[in-house]
């Protein structure tokens, strides 16, 4: 049984899911390879864990180089000769399906449809591509019910299943808030909101910055941390009027997200779009309440473990964050519900087992383990 995972993102949530699937399938006795850009967290970590990594240079967005990227991937897949190709996110979905064109079993996992992040003609073109590419897709794996509904509404007809994202509930678990704050150099008693993730337009950290003064009016000693880096980080730090306020911290990239969740009183996700984000699941696993906008998968993941708000409603965002910073009892109850919810429905092992079962059905009988 041989599978190749193909991805252009080599950091953040998509890379985490790819690595978890690759390791779990390797541990099942499968022959697993990952094709991705050669530099970045994913390639480095996969090699450390003994996964076969093949260099596939690719840019994030579509453009003139997309055809050359598809041709390189076609040659690579011909060399590897997998039983199943698993394509992750939009660039691999484009190049991979052009390269394979239905000649071997193909799984596509959007991790957020490309047409949901585009406007105007590009949005229409992206949706048209997904409709066309259905003929070369044996299975679409959606990470939330919202993602499946969006695909169907856009006319994607390929067979599809929902497999919600999962997290490592041993790594992300309740811990000592005061100890975590001491380790991170944070004030031990100040009300603390944490926003963890890539600093990018879709992640919406600028919306939280704009809502933050309303939180401070209710809780003048509150603190806000943006843990992560990304293309919009320098822009927002230089240009947003709230970015330089003494209550706002920008520690940059972190290799220990669990420590930031543990330190937090509330975790905030002001995203403009998602498939199903890992951050709320990780925060819930650490028994922290989540405040988020109602974008893809958020209601399904958070439920009663926090507040899910109308997208872009900054007044309600500020109110929900301030309410949990001001009421430790409310935050604790929601955090406890979140931990139980993750243990029951969003454990990493459940996710990897479900994907393996679906992929196994696509494999020729003589090649199944």
| Confidence at residue 320, expressed as pLDDT on a 0 to 100 scale | 98
Give the 3-state secondary structure of 234-300.
HHHHHHCCCCCCCCEEEEECCCCHHHHHHHCCEEEECCCCCCCCHHHHHHHHCCCCEEEECCCCHHH
Residue 252 — left, alpha, or beta (φ > 0 → left; ψ -120 to 50 → alpha)?
A: left
User: Tokens representing 313?
Assistant: 């409603």
Instruction: Indicate the SS3 state at residue 266.
Output: strand
| Confidence at residue 9, expressed as pLDDT on a 0 to 100 scale | 85
* pLDDT confidence bin for 367, thresholds 50/70/90: low
* pLDDT confidence bin for 369, thresholds 50/70/90: low
DSSP secondary structure letter of residue 306:
E
CA gap 3, 158 in Å, rounded: 20
User: What is the separation of C-alpha 270 from the centre of its chain, rounded to a whole number of angstroms?
Assistant: 14
| Confidence at residue 120, expressed as pLDDT on a 0 to 100 scale | 85
Q: 148-204: per-residue pLDDT in tens?
A: 999 999 999 999 999 999 999 999 999 999 999 999 999 989 999 999 999 999 999
| Confidence at residue 11, expressed as pLDDT on a 0 to 100 scale | 80
pLDDT, the chain, mean: 92
| H or E segment and range at residue 51 | none
32: β partners: 3
Q: 47-63: per-residue pLDDT in tens?
A: 999 999 999 988 877 77
* pLDDT confidence bin for 366, thresholds 50/70/90: low
* pLDDT confidence bin for 145, thresholds 50/70/90: very high
pLDDT of 115 higher than 70 = yes
CA gap 52, 22 in Å, rounded: 10
- Average pLDDT value for residue range 130-157: 94
* pLDDT confidence bin for 74, thresholds 50/70/90: very high
- Average pLDDT value for residue range 10-25: 90
CA gap 130, 139 in Å, rounded: 13
| Confidence at residue 87, expressed as pLDDT on a 0 to 100 scale | 97
Give the residue with greater pLDDT, 66 vs 309: 309
pLDDT of 142 higher than 60 = yes
* pLDDT confidence bin for 248, thresholds 50/70/90: very high
CA gap 210, 102 in Å, rounded: 47
User: Tokens representing 182?
Assistant: 């001491």
Full-model pTM: 0.88
CA gap 26, 307 in Å, rounded: 38
Please, are residues 312 and 305 in contact by the beta-carbon 8 Å criterion? no
Q: Give the neighbor-by-neighbor strand order of the sheet with 192-196.
A: 248-252, 223-227, 192-196, 266-269, 290-293, 306-309
| Confidence at residue 66, expressed as pLDDT on a 0 to 100 scale | 82
Q: 84-111: per-residue pLDDT in tens?
A: 999 998 889 999 999 999 899 999 999 9
Q: 275-313: per-residue pLDDT in tens?
A: 889 999 999 999 999 999 999 999 999 999 999 999 999
Residue among 215, 341, 197 at smallest CA distance from 270: 197
CA gap 267, 170 in Å, rounded: 19
| Number of residues assigned to the chain | 369
pLDDT of 365 higher than 70 = no
CA gap 56, 35 in Å, rounded: 6
pLDDT of 39 higher than 90 = no
Question: What domains appear along the chain, each with residue ranges and CATH number?
Answer: 2-166+348-367 (3.40.50.2000), 177-345 (3.40.50.2000)
Share of the chain above pLDDT 70, in %: 98
User: Tokens representing 340?
Assistant: 């139980």
CA gap 212, 280 in Å, rounded: 20
């Amino acid at each position: 049984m041989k599978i190749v995972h193909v991805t252009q993102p080599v950091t953040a949530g998509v890379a985490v899911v790819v690595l978890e699937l690759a390791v779990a399938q390797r541990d099942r006795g499968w022959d697993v390879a990952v094709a991705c850009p050669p530099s970045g967290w994913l390639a480095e970590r996969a090699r450390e864990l003994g996964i076969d990594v093949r260099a596939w240079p690719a840019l994030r967005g579509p453009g003139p180089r997309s055809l050359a990227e598809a041709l390189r991937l076609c040659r690579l897949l011909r060399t590897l000769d997998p039983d199943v190709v698993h394509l992750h996110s939009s660039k691999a979905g484009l190049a991979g399906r052009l390269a394979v064109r239905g000649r071997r079993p193909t799984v596509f996992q959007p991790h957020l449809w490309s047409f949901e992040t585009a406007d105007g003609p590009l949005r229409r073109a992206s949706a048209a591509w997904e409709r066309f590419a259905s003929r070369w897709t044996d299975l679409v794996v959606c990470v939330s019910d919202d993602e499946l509904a969006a695909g169907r509404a856009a006319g994607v007809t390929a067979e599809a299943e929902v497999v919600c994202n999962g997290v490592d509930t041993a790594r992300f678990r309740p811990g000592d808030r005061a100890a975590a704050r001491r380790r991170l150099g944070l004030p031990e008693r100040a009300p603390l909101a944490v926003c963890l993730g890539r600093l990018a337009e879709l992640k919406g950290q600028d919306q939280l910055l704009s809502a933050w003064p309303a939180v401070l009016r209710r809780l003048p000693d509150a603190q806000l941390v943006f843990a992560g880096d990304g293309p919009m980080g320098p822009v927002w730090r230089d240009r947003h009027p709230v970015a330089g306020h003494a209550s706002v911290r920008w520690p940059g990239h972190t290799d220990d997200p669990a420590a930031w969740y543990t330190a937090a009183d509330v975790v905030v996700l002001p995203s403009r779009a998602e498939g199903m984000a890992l951050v709320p699941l990780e925060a819930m696993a650490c028994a922290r309440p989540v405040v988020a906008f109602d974008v893809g998968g958020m209601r399904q993941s958070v439920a009663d473990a926090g507040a899910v708000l109308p997208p872009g409603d900054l007044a309600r965002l500020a109110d929900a964050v301030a309410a949990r910073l001001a009421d430790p009892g409310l935050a604790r109850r929601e955090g406890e519900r979140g931990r139980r919810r993750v243990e029951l429905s969003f454990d990493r092992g459940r996710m990897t087992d479900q994907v393996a079962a679906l992929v196994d059905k696509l494999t020729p009988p003589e090649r199944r383990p």
